[in-house]
Amino acid sequence: MKKIIVTGAGSGIGREFTKLYLENGSQVLAVSLVQAELDQLSEDFRFGAQRLQTLQMDLSKADSAASLLQWCQDNDWLPDTLINNAGFACFGDAVDLSPERVANMLELNIITLTMTSMLFGRQMKERGHGAILNVGSTAGMVPSVRFASYGASKSYVNTFTYALAAELKPYGVTVTCLTPGATQTKFAEAGGIDTFSEKSMLHNMFERNKAGSPVEVARAGYDALNARKRQALVGKGARVAAVLSRAVSQKRLPYLVRNP
């Protein structure tokens, strides 16, 4: 029976990943900041309750990756697959955002993801098998105003993941980058998009429930990982972003996407 770690598992895409792996008979360690969400997983996924382990942990804290690895070692829970899904955005003009909030975002989106990929990836390399999926974003392909720091963090995730995939492939370890477009999760609430009062395409999209489906996004990532693909491009606006990233100079893109 395979063991799967899903971070940010309490809601949205992470919740759907948890469901998919429980449905295929795997054991799942669901990691989330919010205990109430983890309790709800146990309630909603009773069909897999005996294979579901939950762990409340703040992955935006320094050294949280090492703490997660230590917990896994202490509890005989070294994973076959790691789903690095936890992350959030800070939406707004960069200089007007809370520096503390942005620092927490970068710690989670970049540092924790990198360290978990390295620490668990090292063990997978030694075993000669394993899989890692990192949730990047189309926001990392297209620099845009109000997403300066978040987009940069996801650009890092995208490029780091592709390079890691090339490094670990000779050792039997699959690494996949999931690059969704806007997805209807708690993303807008956590990032401040839902309360943004100026003209914003993203605000309107989330307010009208027009963003992509977390079910669709998780399934695309799950299928891509099983097929040993390096990327899963999915969701609203994803292919447009991919085309723009190839066709237009990065320095010009923020002027084209005026009201994200």
Q: Where are the domains of the chain?
A: 3-256
Measure CA 232 to chain center: 12
pLDDT over threshold 70, residue 236: no
CB burial of residue 194 (10 Å; 0-12, 13-18, 19+)? middle
**Average pLDDT of the residues in 70-91:** 96
pLDDT over threshold 90, residue 142: no
Looking at the chain, the whole-number percentage of residues with pLDDT higher than 70 is 90
End-to-end CA distance of the chain: 43
pLDDT over threshold 90, residue 252: no
Q: Which has more confidence, 91 or 245?
A: 91
pLDDT value of position 260 = 67
pLDDT value of position 243 = 66
**Average pLDDT of the residues in 35-52:** 95
Q: 3-256 has which fold? A: Rossmann fold (3.40.50)
Query: What pTM did the predictor assign?
Result: 0.91
Looking at residue 250, the DSSP 8-state letter turns out to be T
Q: How many residues are listed for the chain in this entry?
A: 260
